[in-house]
Amino acid sequence: MTAKAKRKPRLPRVPADFVRAVLKGHSSLGLAFAAIIYLVCLTGSIAVFAHEFQRWETAGAPHLTAVSPAAVQHALEAAIARVGGGVEHGYINLPTPDLPQASISVEKDHVHHAWIFDAAGNLAAPGDAPFSEFVTRLHINLHIPGSLGVFIVGLTGVALLSSLISGLLAHPRIFRDAFHLRLGGSRRLQEADLHNRIGIWALPFHVLVSLTGALLGLTTIIVGVLGMALFQGDTAKVYALFIPQAPKDDPRPAPIIDLRPMFPIVDRAAPGGRIDLILLEHPAEMGGAAMFNVRREDTRLANYDAYAFDRSGKLYHRAQSSENNLGERILGAIGKLHFGWFGGGMVKIAYALLGLGLTYLAAGGVTIWLARRRDKRNPAPGLERLWAATIWSQPIALATTALVTAALGGVVSKQVLIVIWAAVTLAILFSALRIEAGALSLWLKRASGVLLIAAGLVHSLRFLSADSVVWSVDIGLLACGSVLLWLARGGIAHPVQAQAA
């Protein structure tokens, strides 16, 4: 034999036309949803630390590790007296390791009133955490009323998952080139390699959060389909499979429901469990009810028991996590898997970093597309300016809301933060009509860095807290601001390079 026969590839070669078609679809899908995917991923990376930011906002409130049933009852009675009766719903959060506070929120005429109470049950401080709620709701429903916002975010999860799959199909060599980076050459190729490498290195995480986000966001449609298929369109019967129904409605006035006898019943039913949340239905009516959510200390992600009582103290519903079937365990784990609310602080940090990587993928895809157009001598300067404003408007808008929260504390409300965020975002988007993309990116990075540092400094001077989580958040704000200033240390770069940075 004069020459060795060439080894045949183990897998058939992917047709070039198929790759081009999938890549075109991948680009179109990414461009169509890029801005909302970017916003959802960025706010999701922050929402991982929702409890930490809540402690940061309420740094002056009482710090508790446990609270007595008598204190809980006293807080409930004080809250109802404070709003003047007529309470429709109530929510009592008991101390947890993540959030060592006791708080109560009551709803009257569709308005929520919240307080943090001390070990004796006295209402000691306002219980609102506007910045934490603002960021989490921005991630969950974009502050769009009703179920429409949740549905849009669910579709975004579907689009993100589809983009990940099409990205894999459009790059047949992506696994083989998982550690191949073309550095020092073409900026577009360098950014494309980094985009692909981040996409493949954290692929399990990307698939996990996009899939769980889609499931959480499309719950309304899923429940509607199940209702039509199983209960002739009655979705209430679908929810009844998972949520205990309140006793028969009886609006006659009655003394405030007494929670104290219920605690020992729950303790006997769930020995070693920790009561995290008590939900109340019409606590001052004859048809009142209370449901205790109890966390069991085991390795299951879906580890919450539920015990519901009528106003007489009779246990009428009991659901224990140890008896859940596979479907119920999956449903109970989706939220924790999506937000990283399991495993402690290190898991949260990992989720935040991986979430920022996913945010970079959303931003970098459009940047690469714009660079490709410029390389082909078909630049789109208007789109470059608009995309630069889109990317950097969100860090500066979120930093502004954090600074306002740090400076004003409980005076500011979630609605005010929404107005500030929207005003800053729109102002920056309009500025893209005249300011060149490179200059716009540079100055917005600098402004974001200054605002984040200011938020950390103002809060640390306003609250000299001994809580390690509180000053860790301040240090985190200072660090993030410093990183942004470091990224903006140079002059005005090429427009597309400035966006990629």
**What's the count of helices (H) and strands (E) in the chain, helices before strands?**
17, 8
Tokens linked to 354: 């991986």
First CA to last CA distance, the chain = 55
pLDDT at 1: 44
Cα torsion 214, 216, 221, 223 to 10°: value is 140
218 touches 154 (CB < 8 A):
yes
- Sign, Cα dihedral of 82, 85, 86, 87: positive
Is residue 481 exposed (0-12), middle (13-18) or buried (19+ Cβ within 10 Å)? buried
Query: Tokens representing 87?
Result: 């309470």
- Whether the Cβ atoms of residue 367 and residue 191 lie closer than 8 Å to each other: yes
The pTM (predicted TM-score) of the whole model is: 0.86
SS3 of residue 413 by DSSP: coil
Average pLDDT of each block of 10 consecutive residues along the chain (501 residues)? Answer: 47 55 55 85 95 93 93 97 91 94 93 94 93 96 89 89 79 66 62 74 90 86 75 70 73 94 95 94 93 86 90 91 80 88 90 93 84 82 91 96 90 93 96 88 94 96 87 96 89 51 50
Decide: helix, strand or coil at residue 310: strand
Question: Given this model, what pLDDT does residue 489 score?
Answer: 81
Q: What's the DSSP call for residue 112?
A: E
**Three-class DSSP category at 271:** coil
| 374-388 core/surface letters (b: 16 or more CB in 10 A; e: else) | beeeeeeeebbbbbb
Residue pair 54/129 in contact (Cβ under 8 Å)? The answer is yes
Q: Count the neighbouring beta carbons within 10 Å of the beta carbon of residue 324.
A: 18
What is the C-alpha to C-alpha distance for residues 417 and 135, in angstroms, rounded to an integer? 10
Q: Crossing angle of helices 148-170/345-375, nearest 10°? A: 70
If we measure between CA atoms, which residue out of 373, 367, 454, 436 comes closest to residue 30?
Answer: 367
Q: What is the pLDDT of residue 2?
A: 46
